[in-house]
């Protein structure tokens, strides 16, 4: 049973990784497969009490992050045996580092979350063969988190300062060309009036509601000016309802 569950989990991680690589915009399918991964780990934990390894718990925690469920990640953290969470007694602190990522996600400190993910990835790459599943999950997490944030940004902004968008998406290391290519691929564009701002576009809507979102260029520019003013007043993304 234990071997079968472990194999199912690894197959699901591989399938999710392939799905995200090949269809990065299929948000519904990403969440569905990610939730299936959470369910497999829940079953594994129940069927094999006391048998989960440090690696199992680490991957279990990331699976909660993939469905943006930091509450259950916190409950998992409390269930994990204390000997796997005592930093001073461990040579491998990846679980503690993962929980720091979870804390940043809970506080909506996305820039810090991406920074911590990158640091952990760099550490795990020292033994990429041993840490293959973890590296796949962290790459998936970065991709899904960016896609989630883009959806939220489109709800909150008609235009956003380019540097702020870079920071929110954890892409400060991108060159201007790389960032330009990335936002173009995501259906975004630079403002015609100020290249320091990005027009995120809007989320897809149903045909029934589409007429409410059809704006002409003049109206878009007027909205962009309003939001630029709000940006200058330090409008807080995290306070948007």
Number of domains in the chain: 2
User: Is residue 226 located within the same domain as residue 146?
Assistant: no
Residue 110 tokens, joined:
């996305």
> Among 122, 151, 180, which residue terminates a domain?
151
Are 162 and 196 spatial neighbours (Cβ–Cβ below 8 Å)? yes
Whole-number Å distance between alpha carbons of 62 and 77: 11
DSSP lists the bridge partners of residue 189 as 199
Q: How far is CA 7 from CA 10, 11, 147, 190, in A?
A: 5, 6, 28, 46
pLDDT tens-digit profile, the chain (241 residues): 466 688 999 999 999 999 999 998 898 999 999 999 999 999 999 998 888 999 999 999 999 999 999 999 999 999 998 888 876 556 678 899 999 999 999 999 999 999 999 999 999 999 988 899 999 999 999 999 999 999 999 988 889 999 999 999 999 999 989 999 999 999 898 887 767 899 998 755 434 333 334 444 555 555 566 556 555 555 444 444 4
Burial 8-21 (b: 16+ CB within 10 A, else e): ebeebbeebbebbe
- Domain enclosing residue 214, as ranges: 159-239
Q: Work out whether the CA dihedral 195, 113, 11, 126 comes out positive or negative.
A: positive
Listed in sequence order, the DSSP H helices in the chain are 2-22, 27-47, 54-66, 70-79, 94-106, 110-124, 132-156, 162-168, 176-185, 207-210, 217-232
User: Is residue 146 located within the same domain as residue 165?
Assistant: no
pLDDT of residue 212: 39
User: Is residue 62 located within the same domain as residue 176?
Assistant: no
Whole-number Å distance between alpha carbons of 195 and 228: 12
pLDDT of residue 78: 93
User: Is residue 14 located within the same domain as residue 112?
Assistant: yes
Whole-number Å distance between alpha carbons of 170 and 110: 7
Whole-number Å distance between alpha carbons of 161 and 197: 4
DSSP state of 129: T
User: Is residue 121 located within the same domain as residue 170?
Assistant: no
Report the largest interatomic distance among the alpha carbons of the chain, rounded to a whole angstrom: 63
Nearest to 134 by CA among 65, 73, 47: 65
User: Is residue 103 located within the same domain as residue 84?
Assistant: yes
> Among 88, 123, 151, which residue terminates a domain?
151
Whole-number Å distance between alpha carbons of 163 and 128: 32
User: Is residue 218 located within the same domain as residue 187?
Assistant: yes
Helix (H, G, I), strand (E, B) or coil at 190: strand
> Among 151, 181, 201, which residue terminates a domain?
151
User: Is residue 101 located within the same domain as residue 118?
Assistant: yes
Residue 59 tokens, joined:
């991957």
pLDDT of residue 90: 60
pLDDT of residue 232: 59
pLDDT of residue 110: 95
User: Is residue 145 located within the same domain as residue 188?
Assistant: no
**Phi, psi (deg, nearest 5) at residue 68:** 55, 40
């Amino acid at each position: 049973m234990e071997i079968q569950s472990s194999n199912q989990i690894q197959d699901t991680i591989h399938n999710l990784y392939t799905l995200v690589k090949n269809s990065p915009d299929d948000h519904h399918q990403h969440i569905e497969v990610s939730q299936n991964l959470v369910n497999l780990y829940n079953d594994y934990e129940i069927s094999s009490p006391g048998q989960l390894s440090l690696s199992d718990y680490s991957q279990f925690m990331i699976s909660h992050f993939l469905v943006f469920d930091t509450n259950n990640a916190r409950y998992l953290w409390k269930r994990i045996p204390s000997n796997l969470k005592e930093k001073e007694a461990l040579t491998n602190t990846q679980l503690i580092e993962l929980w720091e990522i979870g804390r940043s996600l809970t506080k909506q400190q996305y820039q810090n979350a991406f920074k911590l993910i990158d640091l952990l990835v760099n550490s795990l790459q020292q033994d990429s063969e041993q840490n293959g599943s973890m590296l796949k999950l962290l790459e998936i997490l970065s991709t899904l988190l960016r896609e989630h944030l883009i959806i939220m940004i489109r709800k909150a902004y008609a235009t956003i300062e380019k540097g702020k968008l870079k920071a929110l998406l954890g892409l400060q290391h991108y060159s201007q060309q790389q960032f330009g290519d990335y936002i173009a691929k995501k259906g975004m564009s630079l403002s015609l009036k100020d290249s320091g701002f990005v027009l995120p576009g809007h989320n897809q809507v149903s045909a029934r509601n589409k007429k409410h979102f059809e704006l002409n260029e003049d109206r878009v520019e007027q909205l962009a000016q309003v939001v630029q003013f709000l940006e200058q007043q330090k409008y807080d993304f995290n306070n948007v309802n």
